[in-house]
Structure 1
């Protein structure tokens, strides 16, 4: 992108007025796409004659300067301004290292400004364009954190938690030696715990309304997908409760037995033991139970 600057020897006040009117009319008609360049281009066509014009090409602003201006705006916590400044690198220096650097900084600026959807979009675009640069793991991390920071409480839809888990999993799989892996693992576990909590909440809802089959399906989901979360212990107790209410005693006894094997000192096991004892039963694992098979596989 280059700017054309026109110099002339003389220009009368009347001619200035005429040219201003031309620019205004073009603006009104929507024909002047580039304001500065548009008026300058009109001046190069001299309808009055007798004027001499000298055309000079001015170089673009260096990429380093634009990048530094973006950093200055970041330091001033002008995150929107920084993102826009880094965006100029993409426009003025496409397919260059400055365009690449600008894109990751757009993601970072928006993330710092808590504009998480914009940060996610820029980070994903970076991963798509540059899947194996030194900054790619960081782009995954920013994308994951943009979702993680928007996870709502368990009473609401957990789509963002699911997306955070997905992105962090990709980061861990593709870049296992990255410096962001450890934190990604931690954040992913927190997000998975949130997803398990949502399933438990729904399961308890069904259990309270004596819809035992629907409740069992939710608790089964917790053990199948989120067995390593803190909710697995309660899920086993709730299965004991639900199966006992349905009269499926072998599954109730198995759930309690597996609970005792894995959490022998927990309150949930003590409650399950008491619950079974009230019906003259005790924990006993059935090897053919899906609960038993699930934990043996784990």
Structure 2
């Protein structure tokens, strides 16, 4: 116990008596050496001891980055949200929105997919939507930001992937004979996402679901829209499971949000 107490004292004394510039410089030095845990100690000390200084604001920006690099995404998002709440007009707001998008963004990895066979749209969509919202807010509020161009490119992938996820869930509902739920998911693709490839299977699922529910008028409406936009739709011949087993990987744990 005495030994533990001595270690805690030394840890507590590491930052004792240091000014804000000194603490911040120590943090930056540790970031450069990739010692993120030690850097976090100094950054948190800056914010706690000098809460109204410009160093405190900058320390929060760096804390978010350090937490992200240290594989602590929840902590990173928490710091970002707190920063955006406290300093909505800060010059670093665009960067913090961009960083929030990066924290929750997982780009498609051909290497990973070759090993696991998992499509990115099979991921839990919560993180994808958080990333989408952050990038979208960045673009809307700061269209000329140096981060907006990259955010737009990432948004293109996110829109397609989130739409694919909605279709995956609709397919699962359809196979479980939950036709109303399948229709609702399919409609969300058509309503929320414009010009995505997922619109084709979404329309087909709607058509089939309405037929199963004994609603021929609605089924014909869905078919008409499908034929107008995809006159040679592959789903008429292949069905939903005609391209290698659409449903072999579907399960509630993978697709529900």
**Shared fold by TM > 0.5?**
yes
CA RMSD of aligned residues (A): 3.3
Note closer, same or farther for the CA distance 1:239–1:174 as it changes in structure 2 (3 Å cut). same
Match of 2:206 in 1: 239
Note closer, same or farther for the CA distance 1:274–1:248 as it changes in structure 2 (3 Å cut). farther
Rounded to whole Å, the distance in 2 between the matches of 1:272 and 1:257 is 13
Match of 2:72 in 1: 115
1:273 Cα deviation after fit: 8.3
More strand by share: 1
- More contact order relative to length (CA 8 Å, sep ≥ 6): 2
Match of 1:95 in 2: 52
1:116 Cα deviation after fit: 0.7
Which stretches in structure 1 are left out of the alignment for 5+ residues? 1-23, 37-58, 276-298
Give every structure 1 segment of 4 or more consecutive aligned residues whose post-TM-superposition deviation is greater than 4 Å.
Answer: 149-157
Pair 1:200-2:200 in alignment: no
Provide the aligned length of Structure 1 versus Structure 2: 221
1:227 aligned counterpart, secondary structure:
coil
1:221 aligned counterpart, secondary structure:
helix
Rounded to whole Å, the distance in 1 between the matches of 2:197 and 2:218 is 22
Note closer, same or farther for the CA distance 1:77–1:247 as it changes in structure 2 (3 Å cut). same
Q: Deviations over 1:112-165 (max 9, x none)?
A: 222111111111111122111221111111122222249996556432223222
Rounded to whole Å, the distance in 2 between the matches of 1:186 and 1:241 is 34
Match of 1:262 among 229, 248, 253: 229
Which stretches in structure 2 are left out of the alignment for 5+ residues? 109-118, 240-257
1:86 aligned counterpart, secondary structure:
helix
* Structure exhibiting the larger radius of gyration computed from Cα positions: 1
1:247 Cα deviation after fit: 4.5
Match of 2:141 among 149, 161, 174: 174
Note closer, same or farther for the CA distance 1:195–1:245 as it changes in structure 2 (3 Å cut). same
Match of 1:187 among 124, 143, 154: 154
Match of 1:209 among 176, 183, 204: 176
